[in-house]
Every structure is written in structure tokens, then in C-alpha cells.
Structure 1
Amino acid sequence: MPTIIAIGIFVYGFISWTGFVSLTNWNTLTPDFSFAGLKNYLFLFNDYRFQSGMRNTLFFTLFFIIGVLGLGFFLAIFIDSKIKGESLFRNIFLFPMALSFVVTGVVWQWLLNPSTGVNLLLERLGFENLPQWYIDTRIALSFPLGNIEFGIPLALIAVVIAAVWQMTGFSLAMYLAGLRGISEEIKEAARVDGATEFQIYRKVIFPMLMPITVSIVIIMGHISLKIFDLIYAMTGSGANFVTDVPGVYMFETTFRGNFFANGAAIAIIMLLLVAIVIVPYLLVNRKGEA
């Protein structure tokens, strides 16, 4: 009962309060709880910065999940191949997960600074036209949509690299556990049937790892949809909001601009985005258990 009461107050109670505030006119330091309906939500969906943040979140989530899945899977295969120094490699690949996103953001901000870090090394090696990384304002493959240019913000690539570097260890551990749980007899049976090593992984191993893949997608998806600390520490909203995300916009709107109703509306939209990813997964799992 104490746990239920605590969760009811500090989780669902605060979510309900945030939802209520998002429907009011409280956009000054002085509380104003007069009913505003969907005015704050309509303002956001017509707002250039919010549209930019939603675009950035979409592409960040897509590239982040693909990067974590692909790199984690191949590293797991590499470690599973009985290499020498397996423990050393496993610890090296898992180490970034011990860091916070704030530390990762600060480190990669320096590494990908256009005047230092990686670019300085490339310059000394004779390369020219070096990338501008997170200060690049160009939008690739863009077309007009709403108030923004919808496409891939090139500055976001730097943030994706940092995020993938930190979270690949999670997918590596998950896939490695899955690979170690597959019987060698299944692989031998496939070889006897004439399957190549590539076919074994594509038609036997990867399908057996599908539940793990879905779990990784769900966990990484909810991390990327509510990302804040990495963006805030590494790039902020960026020039022309090319690296902005709803989490950063919500923080600055609420606690710097004192637009509490607008900030609450952003928070509710973020909650709904995460729910769209997680709730179906939980329902399917519950049906499977039943």
C-alpha cells in the first residue's frame, strides 16, 4: 500500500497535474489556471522550433537505433568467435555505458569540434574540406513541410555518433547472451544441409535473436525519444535549431522562459510519443505470458 500511494502521487499524480497545466493559460510567473483548451498544443504544432525538434527526433531515433543494432550485432559476432583477449574486448566495448550522457556529450563535443580533435588530426594528414560536425546548418535531402525544411540535419550526425558510441555496449551484451544461448547443434545441422556461414546467420541465428532485437529497439527508442542530457551538454539547440529536440525545448520553455503551460504541453507530447513505442510492447508481452 505505501508503494501504491507513492506511485500514485509521484508518478500518476504529477502526470495528471502536468496534463492539467498544459490546458491552462499559465505562461507567466503568476499562476493562471483559466482553461485554454488545446491552445498550447495548437501553438506548438505551428511553431517552427517544435517542428524542427520533432524532425530531429525522428531522424535521431532512426539512425541511433540502426547504429546501435548493427554495430552491437557485429561486435557480438566478433566476440563470440572465441577471439583471444575476449574479456578485454568485452570490457572495452561495455565501458562507455558506465559514463553518463553529460560526460559523453562533453567529450564528443571536443572530439568533433571543427577546430580541434578529429578534424585537427585529419588536417595534419592532408585532408581538406573537413566536416563542420555539430555546427553544420545544412539539411540534406530536404523539402518544404510545414514551417521547416524536412530532411536530415547534417549536424545531427555528430550527436548520433556520440549516442551510438555510448549505447552500443547494451546491444552487444544482449546479442552476445543470445548467441551464447544458441546450441551449436543447430548451426551444425544447418551446415550439414549446405548452408553457408552467411546463410546460417541470416536464416537461422538472426531470426532466433528477433525477441532480443525487439527489446533493444523498444529500450533504445524510448531513450532517443526523451533524449535531453546528451544534446544539452554537446550542442544545445544548435544554430537554426538543427540539433534541437523536444526535451531541450521543454526545459528552456518552462524553466528559462516561464511558459509553464507550453512546457507542460511539450512534456505531454513526449509522454505520448514514448507511450506509442512502449505500450504495444507491454501489451504483447502480457498476452504472451497469459
Structure 2
Amino acid sequence: MQRPKNWLPGLLMVLPSIILVGIFVYYLIAQNIWTSLNVATRRVVVGGKFEERSIHEGGYRNYTELLGSADYQHALWNLLVLTVVFVVGTMIMGLLWSILLEKGVRGEGVFRSIYLFPMAVSFIAAGVVWRWLLSPAKGEGAAIGLNQLFVKLGLDGLQSSWWSADSRWNMAAMALPAIWQLSGYIMALFLAGFRGIGEDQREAARIDGASEWQVYRHVLFPQLSPIALSALIIVGHMSMKMFDLIYAIAGPNSYTASVPATLMWTQLFAQRDPVAAAVNATIILVIVAVVVVPYLWYTNRTERERG
């Protein structure tokens, strides 16, 4: 058994962090789950008198009620469309830019800075600009942003209502600002992966008669799979929690562009329903955990096997 002097200093060093994480993460998660299971009532006026009416029965019924509501199903569908378009678009653009830069083009530092610059802009600030760019106003004299550009170019047919369109796929337009902002980060991850692969592997493949495409497909891309998985998890869980960008572009109470995160804001502040907001928050936590936990398990298993 180790003496206290061997482990006590280390424990005292990390104890404040353990306490803070325990209180502000795990305790608050537990409190949120407890709130989501509560019975909720609301005072209403019936016949000139106040009566208590139940709005949430408590327990698992709170979850079935929210999941079965049309508003929440609409928000989940919007989240699915946003996530798919955002993840696919970001991964493709990031990979494409990294391939172009890993060749060692002239002025690489300038291009790398240009691609990474959007990351320095907050989602709120970017959302204010993109709200103007994606304005749904159409026609000569009314259109602004991208629609105005299309009018000036004589491409009136390309005008769109963007995220406010009456379509099940309108959230694909909301993914455009997110793709613009995060593609540079994914590019940096892939570029670091490319630079970590020795030139001798490429030369050996070329000597064996492999074309440039075959070098990428059979030599480079397989070695980038851990980076691709990490990037996929990062942008995937970011899209599931996205709030500030949608808030800045569409506002907090937009039904058309609602996702679970913005709906939670409406439930808590506009509808004054903390139980429904807690249920929503717990569901978001579970959705993110479904994506992140398997990745963490896979990463830990891989590290143990290598060790």
C-alpha cells in the first residue's frame, strides 16, 4: 500500500477541479434530470376562480409527451437536416482545402490564414452578417444579400427564401454559415495529418506504379481515418448543440428554423415551462452522448491496445 505522501499531494492538486466539475457538471445534470421528472401545474382562471391545472404528469410521461408533440418532431427533423448537411459539407470542404494546401502551393500561409479566419469570428457575429446575406426578401428593390446579388447578375431564378422557406429541407440553408465557419478547422486537422505522413511512403507507392489518385486512396487516406473520425465527432456534436448561430439568424422563437436547443429557450423563457425545458435538455444530452460516448470508448480501447 502506497504511503499518503506519495499520492496525497497529487490528490490535493486536482481536488479543486474535481469538486468544481462535480458541482457544476454532474450535480447540475442530475438536478436537470430530477426537474424533468417533476409534476407541473399551472394556475388558470375558470369561472372567475383560480384553479390548478396539471400540465405535466411527471415521470417518463413528460418525455413521451414532448417526443410525441408535433413541435418537437419538427425541431428534431430540422436538427437532422442541419446535422447531415453541416457535417458532410464541412468534411468535404475541409478535406478539399487540405489536399490543395498539402501540395505546398505558393502563399500557403496566406491561404491557410484565410481559411482559418472564420473560426476567429463568434457564431453570434457571423450570424448577424449571414442574417443579411440569407435574407428571404426577393425582387428588384426589395432583395438584399445574396438575393440582391442574383438580381444584379440577372440570375433571378436563383433567388431563395433560404432558411425561412416553406420546405422540409430549409435548414440546409442554415448549415451554410456553419460550414463556412468550421471548414477551416477541419482543413487544419487534415493538413496536420497529411504533413505527418512521410514522403518516402508516397515515393514508394509511385515507384510501384501507383497513380496520384491511388497514392491518396491506398496510402494517405487510410492513415487519416483516425483524424476523420475525430473531426466527424467534433462537428457532429457541435451541430446537435447549435444555438447561437440559429438564434442570431432566425431569432429565438422561430418555428420554421427551430431545433431542440432553440426550442428549449422558448420553453424556458417564453412559455415559462422549466419542466419541458429540462426534458428537452436531457434529450439533447442523450443525443450527444450517443455520438460521443462510443467514440470515447473506441479511443480508450485503441490506446490500451497500443500501450
Q: TM-score, normalised by structure 2?
A: 0.85
Match of 1:21 among 22, 30, 35: 35
Counterpart position of 1:168? 183
- The 3-state SS of whatever aligns with 1:137 is coil
Counterpart position of 2:300? 286
Contact 1:25 1:36 in 2 (8 A): yes
Identical pairs, percent = 40
Match of 2:122 among 78, 100, 119: 100
Alignment of 1:141-156 (within 5 A): 153=169, 155-156=170-171
Q: CA deviation at 1:199?
A: 1.5
Aligned pair in 2 of structure 1 residues 187, 28: CA closer, same or farther (>3 Å)?
farther
- The 3-state SS of whatever aligns with 2:156 is coil
Alignment of 1:128-277 (within 5 A): 128-129=156-157, 130-139=159-168, 153=169, 155-236=170-251, 241-277=255-291
Query: What residue identity is the alignment partner of 2:160?
Result: P
Q: Which has the larger radius of gyration?
A: 2
Alignment of 1:63-82 (within 5 A): 63-82=85-104
Contact 1:44 1:50 in 2 (8 A): yes
2 CA distance for matches of 1:3 and 1:187?
Answer: 46
Counterpart position of 1:109? 131
Counterpart position of 1:147? none
Contact 1:22 1:262 in 2 (8 A): yes
Aligned pair in 2 of structure 1 residues 28, 238: CA closer, same or farther (>3 Å)?
closer
Q: TM-score, normalised by structure 1?
A: 0.89
Query: What residue identity is the alignment partner of 1:132?
Result: S
Query: What residue identity is the alignment partner of 1:158?
Result: A
2 CA distance for matches of 1:57 and 1:35?
Answer: 27
1 CA distance for matches of 2:253 and 2:200?
Answer: 53
Once the two structures are overlaid, the 10-residue window that deviates more, 190-199 or 63-72, is 190-199
Counterpart position of 1:148? none
1 CA distance for matches of 2:207 and 2:257?
Answer: 51
Contact 1:237 1:245 in 2 (8 A): no
Contact 1:76 1:176 in 2 (8 A): yes
- The 3-state SS of whatever aligns with 1:8 is helix
Q: CA deviation at 1:201?
A: 1.1
Aligned pair in 2 of structure 1 residues 7, 238: CA closer, same or farther (>3 Å)?
closer
Unaligned runs of 5+ in 1: 140-152
Aligned pair in 2 of structure 1 residues 94, 251: CA closer, same or farther (>3 Å)?
same
Contact 2:38 2:59 in 1 (8 A): yes
- The 3-state SS of whatever aligns with 1:37 is coil
Contact 1:26 1:260 in 2 (8 A): no
Cα deviation digits, residues 124-183 of structure 1 (max 9, x gap): 1111232121221123xxxxxxxxxxxxx2x21221110000001110100010111111
Query: What residue identity is the alignment partner of 2:167?
Result: R
Counterpart position of 1:86? 108
Answer 1 or 2: higher relative contact order, Cα 8 Å, separation at least 6: 1
Count how many residue pairs are aligned between Structure 1 and Structure 2.
Answer: 273
Contact 1:27 1:258 in 2 (8 A): no
Q: CA deviation at 1:202?
A: 1.6
Q: CA deviation at 1:35?
A: 7.2
1:8 is the counterpart of 2:25: no
Q: CA deviation at 1:64?
A: 0.8
2 CA distance for matches of 1:27 and 1:163?
Answer: 39
Moved over 6 A (4+): none
Contact 1:96 1:166 in 2 (8 A): yes
Q: CA deviation at 1:39?
A: 2.0
2 CA distance for matches of 1:81 and 1:238?
Answer: 46
